[in-house]
């Protein structure tokens, strides 16, 4: 199976630095599988351009003038149903990371990423996988472990809701654990000794049972509930 799609991936680049946008556009233009259809310097312009161009993927910086990229996520995803959003930023703050993933971003990369790694990440995201910079993985797990360990208010209260993981079969929990580690479907299949198509079916069931739309959101839930 080819690792790249037949048609070029249509990309919108959103960053407030003109030189960075131009350099990134030139970098991505070297790959025939990628096509930058436009760019924007702030959240308002990004929303207008997204509605006009209907890209497949948005490369979104967080530090934008006026409205941060994380805060612009809901509007962009509403403007282009099904669009994948990949954060590309200098922020190594775990709160920015957590907010981006909760907002539906399919991945979070730092601007120090190598060109080849960025291209590979874009293709993985378009295949429905999730990508998080290696430098941020530990912070992601720490952030959600801290949230889970935070003391609750004393006194009687409603019973804690059942863990969403309780709805998953043992095999689906294995799949979710591998997703949280960032493993691809092919890697999961090899690890568990099952076909990649079977992995895809399990992943669909996991996302449906967890009521999420992306592997990144599923990984966040896995981290919150101590599966990784």
If pLDDT is split at 50, 70 and 90, which confidence band does 20 have? Answer: very high
**The residue to which tokens 């690792």 are assigned:** 3
Q: What's the sign of the alpha-carbon dihedral 81, 70, 163, 182?
A: positive
Q: Which two tokens stand for residue 45?
A: 């312009």
pTM of the model: 0.67
- Residue-wise pLDDT tens digits, 94-114: 888 888 888 889 999 999 999
Cα gap 94→43, rounded to integer Å: 22
Segment 169-186, tens digit of pLDDT: 888 889 998 888 888 888
pLDDT score of 2: 42
* Residue showing tokens 């992995």: 199
Please write down the long-range contacts of 171-176, taking CB distance under 8 Å and 24 or more positions apart: 171/202, 172/202, 172/205, 172/206, 172/209, 173/227, 175/199, 175/202, 175/203, 175/206, 176/206, 176/210, 176/218, 176/219, 176/221, 176/222, 176/227
| Count of beta carbons in the 10 Å neighbourhood of residue 35 | 15
Spatial CB neighbours of 81, under 8 Å, sequence gap ≥ 6: none
Of the pLDDT bands very low, low, confident and very high (cuts 50, 70, 90), residue 155 is very low
Alpha helix (H) residue ranges in the chain:
18-28, 43-53, 69-79, 94-102, 115-126, 134-149, 170-180, 185-192, 196-210, 215-224
Give the residue-averaged pLDDT of 136-155.
58
Is 154's pLDDT higher than 50? Answer: no
The two three-digit tokens of residue 133, written as one number: 């910079």
- 88 dihedral zone (left: phi>0; alpha: psi -120 to 50; beta): beta
C-alpha count within 13 angstroms, C-beta hemisphere, residue 155: 2
Write down all domains in the chain, each with its CATH number in brackets. Answer: 9-139 (3.40.50.2300), 161-224 (1.10.10.10)
Is residue 153 over pLDDT 60? no
Mean pLDDT of the chain: 84
Q: What is the pLDDT of residues 117-129, one digit of tens each?
A: 999 999 999 988 8
Instruction: Give the span between the Cα atoms of 100 and 168, in whole angstroms.
Output: 25
pLDDT band at 46 (very low <50, low <70, confident <90, very high): very high
Residues 21, 33 contacting (CB under 8 angstroms): no
**pLDDT band with cut points at 50, 70 and 90 for residue 43:** very high
Q: Which of 103, 101, 225, 226 is nearest to 164 (CA)?
A: 225
């Amino acid at each position: 199976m080819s690792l790249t799609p037949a048609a070029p991936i249509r990309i919108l680049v959103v960053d407030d630095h003109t030189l960075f946008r131009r350099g990134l556009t030139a970098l991505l233009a070297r790959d025939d599988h990628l096509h930058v259809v436009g760019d924007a310097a702030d959240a308002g312009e990004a929303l207008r351009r997204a509605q006009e161009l209907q890209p497949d993927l948005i490369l979104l910086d967080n530090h934008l003038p006026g409205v941060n990229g994380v805060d612009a996520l809901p509007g962009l995803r509403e403007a282009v149903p099904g669009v994948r959003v990949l954060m590309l930023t200098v922020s190594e703050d775990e709160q920015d990371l957590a907010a981006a993933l909760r907002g539906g971003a399919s991945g979070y990369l730092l601007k120090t990423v190598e060109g080849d790694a960025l291209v590979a990440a874009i293709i993985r995201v378009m295949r429905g996988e999730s990508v998080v910079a290696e430098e941020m993985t530990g912070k992601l797990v720490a952030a959600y472990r801290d949230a889970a360990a935070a003391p609750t208010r004393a006194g009687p209260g409603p019973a804690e809701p059942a863990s969403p993981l309780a709805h998953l079969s043992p095999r689906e929990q294995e799949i979710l654990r591998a997703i949280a580690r960032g493993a691809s479907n092919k890697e999961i299949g090899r690890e568990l000794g099952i076909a990649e198509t079977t992995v895809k079916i399990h992943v669909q069931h996991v996302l449906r049972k967890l009521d999420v739309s992306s592997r990144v959101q599923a990984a966040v839930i896995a981290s919150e509930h101590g599966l990784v």
